[in-house]
Each structure stands twice: as C-alpha cells, then as structure tokens.
Structure 1
C-alpha cells in the first residue's frame, strides 16, 4: 500500500459488529487513519453481554450463532477456542423456540398438553415455514403475508379441526415472531426465501465469555484510541457535486453532537435501520437519494425483547427446558390481531405475546421470556416490578405449581434505546428484498456524479445484507464488504 492510501482518513460510525469488522479489516490492510465514532459508552451495538445475577453471563442482546458452515463468527470462535465442548454444545444446538420433549406446554386453564400433540402441530408448522424459506410457495400463496399463508395452509390440514391443535398453531406463529421481529401478518411470505440459513442450525455454543469474547478479538485488532466513545454523530456533509469550496483531500465532514468536526475521505455508516428511519432525512447533507430513503422507509425494523426472571430457587422439574404458554385466543390469531387494533385493546393484554419462559444456560434458577412487536414496545414503558409480577402470575396460573416471587428482574428495552430503536430487520408484506441492496449502495453514485470523489459514504449493518439480515454474521460480513470496497479502490 502506498503512503497516500495509508494516510487516507476513514471514519466508521458505530462500534457494533459491522463497524468493528470494517475497522479491523481496514487496519489489517494497512490503513493507519481509521476512527470509530460510538454514541454510547459501551461498544458492541446489539450485542450486550452482562453479569447481572451471578459470575455467569447473560446475553441481553444477540444470543445465537446462526449456523456454522460459512459463518465467520463461528469460525473465529472456533479458532480462538471460545466454544463450549462438543457434548455440551450439542445440547444447545437448537432454534430459539424449537420444541423438545423437555418443553412443558400448558393451556390457559392449566391443562398440560401431551408431547405428541405438540409435535404434530410443530412438525406441520415447520414444514409450512420451510416452504417459504426455500422459495417453494405456490403462486396463490406468494401474494400473502407470512401469517396469512400459514393460516390458509393450516386450515387445509386435518389438524385444524381440533381446538387444542389450533391453539398450539397460534403458539407456533407467536414463537416465529421472535425470529421475524414482527407480527407474521406484517412479514412477506415470498421474500423470506432470500434469507439464507447456514448449515448447522442456531447454535448457542459460545463459552463462558459469550458474544463479548468475540467482540474482544476484534477490539484487540484495533490500535489504542481508535474508538471515540460517547461521540454521537449529528450530521454527515458529503460532497455529492464535487463542490469547490471543500478541502479537496477530505470531501466529507462528520459533525458530532459534542460539536467536534472530523474531516475525512470516507465514512462507513453502520447505525441500525431504526436510527436511519428516525434520522436519515436530517442526518445527511445533501439529502440521500430517493432510492435510499425509500429503502429505509419500506424495510421493517422490529423489536424483540427478553425478560429475565431470577428466582432464589428452582421450582420447575429437572427435565423441563421451558414452560410454554398456549392461550385460548392469542395475539397471532388473525381475528384477534385485527380487532385489537381498535382502541389499542392489545395494550391491556401485552403479556399474551410472551411465548413462554425458557431455561438459561449456566443459570439454574433463571428463566427467560421472549416478547416481540408492538407488545414488546408497550412492555418497555412499564416498570420492571410490574413486568416481573405479571410473569409470576402467568407462571402460577398456567402451571398450578408453587412459584415463588421473583428475586430480580432484567428487561431489555431495545425499542426505546435511542441509539438502536429496535432489534433487527424484516421484509414487510408487499416489499421487495432488493431494498437491502439500495440501502447498501455507496455514495456518490458514479453514474450520477462522475466528477466527485468516489465512495464518500458507505453503508453497512445487518439491514444492508440481502441474505443474512437479522444476524450478527450478516452485520460482520457487511462491515468486511465495505472495508473491502475501499481496499479494492486503493489497490488500483
């Protein structure tokens, strides 16, 4: 690399996986003037590894390694010996809500459902969702939302004649909401096939360091002083027309909330889609092109939250891996979903969106509840004590067990985090997955402004990846992609 390239100034906005991967790739390639601006005190973005209860970790954010083959984060963890032993890992090799014989399913009235009944419904649900993910939908189903496609298909099954099995099917849909970060009636059935699930399944196989241990590897690759914490970006002024007034060598000015101004050659924006939805129209000067603003508006950014309940003692059986709640009428029942829009009735029953409470690795007395969508956003406005009390009442009424009061509660509130504004991306019904590509396109466009310095503003983050959106490896790979774009540009 020549001296000019080495001295090129590059600013990365955001120190999540996308930002850290971009910066680490650039530093490794020989760039010596790379800075990351992070709005928070904490780095990691939507990865948040904590120790709130004991010396063992809790993942308040990202939890899973999504597949092994072709997953750079799995490879990194494996090389650095950050995975648990194979025997322990195999027990954790499951989807967030894949059903095992160790899941206890309870009806609203307290009746426990047989494993056989649950398996029958979950197998059908899995078969139907696989058709969507493998792009094998019939034409009549391709025009539907994922929720409507599942309802129509289930109605054609003999299982639909059973009341219990219909209720379990609603539980399955509610569980799938956790993967999609939205109600299934908001999600496109046809476009979901662009998402690629890597071989190896969801893998909760990280050792005692959790996701933080992988972040630490990337952080070690960065020179001291690379990350400026508590440095929120207010605006990015880029030179789309090759304006004469700006210093020729540094066509981009990044203006921070603390009034610091950083002149740079390139800026890689890795903020979440949630932040872009709120700030994209005011953050860039000149304004972003219509194609990019449209992509930001059209793509969905949903909320998934966790409710951790720490008890002084374990009250569930040794062979129980999760307590799942099957409602008589749940929020992913189409009639309920549509009717509850009126007068915000769903706010009164927000807790019905909780699928159930799963056991947590290395925490014998902790349960974790998952909640998504508008109900999660409403829950975030409530006090921890109210949320904890509601969850304990649910556990008592569904199981009939002697459930003690909860000792500690830990709630994620990603939807109200000003630097995230949600959890991850989904493709809404009637939206094309190609919007991810529009979001990822660098500025200025060569065709529009041939006289401008190229690649002034680049975009990374899970929302910019067509096949791996929602995932940590999608975020990581998008950061590497934008770094490589710059490396290639300077290697000519």
Structure 2
C-alpha cells in the first residue's frame, strides 16, 4: 500500500481552510483524512442563514475580495454561482466604495452634501491607497495608520471645514471595520502594504445560495464520514519522546495524538490546525503538548485579531427612500477620535456610548425591508453582551435622531456575536503598530517539526492554516482557502519526495 494511502491526517476545523486542505488531500489520493469540527455546523466564519425569509443573510463572510487570481471567484464563476447586478445593492459601505445613493447625516439631523462626501471619501481613499501600495513618505512609515491619516489629512484644505473633519472621522471609523480594530491607532501604516488587494474590488454578486453554495462545492469532494461535528479538540500531543515511549509499550502507532473534549482520541501522522487566531490566543498555551516553539507563540501574541459584528434590523415596511443604499451616521465626536480613544481618564465611559461605533445602516441584497449596521472593536464586544431588543431599540433611536424620518419599531433583530463565540473569539486578523507582520505571519504558518530540523523526528507533525497564516491575503476567505491548499500541498510534496527517494 502506498504511503499516500497509509498516512493518517487529521484536520482541525471545517472552515474554508480546513475544507480546502481536506479536499486537496482527498483529490491527491489520501484515504485516511478526518476533519474534527467543534461546532455543530461546517463553515467556520462563513455562516449563511435564512432568518427573515427564504432569502439568505450572511452572518459571517460577505464578499469575494477581488476576481483576478481569486480561486473562490473562479470556483463560483465555474459553477454558476454569480448573479450579475446584485453587487449594486450594497451590503456594506466602505470609504472607497461610497456612492451617491448613500445618505450621510450629521448628528442633529442635517444631511451632508454629496459633494462634501465625495471630496472627503476620495481623499481618504487616496491616502489609504498610498499605505496599501507601500508608497508612504518616510515621515509616515513609522506611524500607526490612524496617525498617518491624521497627519496627511491635516495638510488638505478639507481639514479646515467642520464637515470635512467629521466626515474624515467617519471614514476612519468605517476603515476600522475593514481592519477589525478598535481604532486605526492600533494598526501599522507601513505593514499594511504587504496585504495584496486582488483586481476586481469587493465582489458581492453571489447568487441566492450565498457563501454556503461555495462551501457546498468543497463538501461534494468529501465523503460525508470524513467530517465529525461537535468534536472540539482539547489537546494535541506531538512530543517525540512521549510517542516513542507509547509505541514501545504497544500503544500509539502514530506520532500525533489528539484528545477531544468528549475524551475521544484520534491518532495521526499529521494534523493541520485551522482554528482562528482568536482561539490560538486563548488556548495555544494549553492546546499543544509540548508547548509550541517560542517564535510561534510570539507570533500568536503579536498579531492582532479583532471583532467585527453585524446588526440586522428587519422592519415590517421600508421607511427609507428607494434611491437610498445606506444611512451613514456622522458624529460630532466619535470613538474614532484619537483624543477620545487614548484618554486614560475615560475609564469605562465608552461602554455607555458603544453605539457611536456603528458607521451606519446599509441596505441588504434581496431584503427590501432589512438594514445592516456594522460595529467593530471593543464596542462590538460590549454590544455582544446586550440583549437583541436593547441593541435594536438603540439602533432605531439612532435612525430617528439622525434622519428625522418616521422610523417604525423594528420587528426582528439578528446579531452576530463572533467575539463571544468560543470557537472563533473574534473575526479576522490585522497587523498592529510596531509589529513585523511578514515575520509573524510566516512564523505562524511554519509547520513543526520542520523537515530536517530534528533528524530523528517525523517531520510535519503539526501544520497550520487559516487566514492569519497568509502574509498577503490575511482577513479574507480566499486567504483561508489558499492556506489550506498550501498545507495540503506541503504534505503531498513530502510524500511525493519520499516515494521518489525510497
């Protein structure tokens, strides 16, 4: 029997990274592949639901980030999962994708002119593009993203007007949602240039099946018995001496042992760990026996992992104009202001105004009476502790006070709670200020033990995948997918080389 068929591989996590790894291995001929998923469902941070009607709501991942070179876009296109024209119904408004169909309101009810919005958002887009394209001036490279944007904006005539200042703060608040940070003062300005935005922009034209339809394509390549749900892993034992001693006693036949929360035991030659960086931050110290190398523990500690949540408000009837794609809230003083965010005297006062972190409420594709609000960072984590009704009431108050429209009471509220989800503990990765993102992403992705590092040890016992392990595509679904393929290919190459040299 070939080594490919004999090798036992366990994948921890059934999100895009785990499913991509398993599907790639199965297609390559590996016959002993098992996925252990802690949740009762597959998908990880992709969660397609139908809470209001037969049409889908995405509680998790929303977009295909770019088209050119994006395997998920290609997969969706090949299987007819794209619907042209749906992208016109925005689900989220970002500074670089603001349209005339967004209504911006200042606190107190005054609508901001489209001209002012266009000018400020265009400048913001230009400034952030300099960071993403690694074109920062030397004087800005050592700054946080927030400090760089403040300094660059101060040089613009737009900074002289109050509307300009407040709109720029709105742009920063919206960018926090993109970065999964509490504040842009947490985020590195120079390191963000290593993130690669694929050509084609944010592509939100998935058909009625949503992201679940792409997951289903991967699931078709996997025998149903491969995936075990409700199988949370408690510990991963990969210590060479421990395994050798067990083998001498007639125990284990493989170098890795996984123990689940329900005391189930799985043996493996290799384990591909795809849990979120949030879970690693909480459990890395106890999950692996022996402990992970210092470089990997440092990477887990240094990289940022923030929370982004969605607040869906379902009304019995539409109260906003047909040409309105989003209602954006421009505060006189918001949580994105540096003086507010860094104030040591603030204490816990920000919890009383958590709702100021909501950028606005955007229309939702296929749901004419549903709005979606976005919230991020510490305010999102606090919001998750509140009852749905309390959050819904706060949102309705905001809509009434900012617009002056006759806003009815909300009929249904649906909230994502990724920060408190024990299997995720956040949403996605960012590179903090003064952190070398490339170094830490690569350290997180490195397998243990690596080939030839410990000659007497079986190599590649523990491999790591997930969006946080990708240098250029962290935060994205395609980054997660590609990292899973990467680790599967690492094993395929290992066994191909082994077969050739044996």
Aligned equivalents of 2:342, 2:5: Cα separation in 1: 57
In 1: Cα distance, 2:435 partner to 2:465 partner: 20
**What is the CA-CA distance between 1:5 and the residue it aligns to?**
1.8
Runs of 4+ in 1 over 6 A off after TM superposition: none
Counterparts in 2 of 1:99 and 1:340: CA distance versus 1, 3 Å: farther
Partner of 2:211: 211
- Provide closer, same or farther for how the CA distance between residues 252 and 52 of structure 1 changes in structure 2, counting only shifts above 3 A: same
State the Cα distance separating 1:341 from its structure 2 match: 6.3
* Structure 1 residue 88, shift from structure 2 partner: 3.8
- Number of aligned residue pairs: 490
Counterpart residue number, 2:500: none
Residue matched to 1:382: 386
Task: State the alpha-carbon separation in 2 of the partners of residues 310 and 95 from structure 1.
Answer: 19
2:282 counterpart (267, 271, 278): 278
User: Structure 1 pair 314/94, CA: closer, same or farther in 2 (3 Å)?
Assistant: closer
Partner residue in 2 for 1:13: 12
* Residue aligning to 1:195: 195
Q: 1:25 maps to which residue? A: 24
1:466 corresponds, among 464, 471, 475, to 471
Shift of 1:344: 1.4
Separation of aligned partners in 2, 1:265 and 1:60: 35
Which residue does 2:34 correspond to in 1?
A: 35
CA–CA distance in structure 1, aligned partners of residues 106 and 301 of structure 2: 39
Task: Output the CA distance in 1 between the equivalents of 2:132 and 2:242.
Answer: 44
Deviation at 1:246, TM superposition (A): 3.5
Matches within 5 A, 1:225-244: 225-240=225-240, 244=244
State the shift of 1:96 in Å: 4.4
CA distance in structure 2 between the partners assigned to 1:93 and 1:353 by the alignment: 17
Q: What's the C-alpha RMSD, in Å, of the aligned pairs?
A: 1.4
**SS of alignment partner, residue 414 of structure 2:** strand
* 2:132 maps to 1:133: yes
Q: Does 2:480 align with 1:475?
A: yes
Matched residues in 2 for 1:471 and 1:480: separation?
A: 15
Q: 2:449 aligns with which of 419, 425, 444?
A: 444
Q: Which runs of 5+ in 1 are unaligned?
A: none
Of residues 331, 335, 339 in structure 2, which corresponds to 1:331? 335
Structure 2 unaligned runs (5+)? 498-502
**8 Å contact from structure 1 (residues 94, 202) kept in 2:** no
Q: TM-score of the superposition, structure 2-length normalised?
A: 0.96
CA distance in 2, matches of 1:431, 1:474: 20
Aligned to 1:169: 168
Q: What is the rounded CA distance, in whole Å, between the counterparts of 1:261 and 1:447 in structure 2?
A: 28
TM-score normalised to the size of structure 1?
0.97
2:102–2:327 CA contact under 8 A, matched in 1: yes
Q: What is the DSSP-based 3-state SS (H/G/I as helix, E as strand, rest coil) of the residue aligned with 2:236?
A: strand
Aligned: 1:246 with 2:246: yes
Contact 1:96 1:202 in 2 (8 A): no
Change (3 A) 1:437 1:62: same
SS in structure 1 of the partner of residue 413 of structure 2:
strand
Q: Does residue 487 in structure 1 map to residue 492 in structure 2?
A: yes
Q: CA deviation at 1:113?
A: 0.5
CA contact (8 A) 2:235 2:259 kept: yes
Q: Secondary structure at the match of 2:410?
A: coil
Structure 2 contact 91–372 (Cα < 8 Å) conserved: no
Q: 1 CA distance for matches of 2:19 and 2:94? A: 26
Per-residue CA shift, 1:312-352, capped at 9, x if unaligned? 00000000000000000011111111127631111111000
Q: Which moved more, 1:332-341 or 1:186-195?
A: 332-341
CA drift of 1:451 comes to 1.0
User: C-alpha deviations, 1:361-388, integer Å up to 9, x for none?
Assistant: 0000000000000000000000100000
Question: 1:265-414 to 2 correspondence within 5 Å?
Answer: 265-339=269-343, 342-414=346-418
3-state SS of paired residue (1:152):
helix
Q: Equivalent residue of 2:184, what SS?
A: coil
Q: Deviations over 1:58-105 (max 9, x none)?
A: 0000000000000000000000000003x4446669864521000000
The farther-off stretch of 288-297 and 340-349 is 340-349
2:428 aligns with 424
Contact 2:418–2:426, Cα closer than 8 Å, also in 1: yes
Contact 2:144–2:433 (CA<8 Å) still a contact in 1? Answer: yes
Q: 2: CA distance between counterparts of 1:149 and 1:175?
A: 16
Conserved 8 A contact 2:254-2:267 = yes
CA distance in 1, matches of 2:102, 2:491: 49
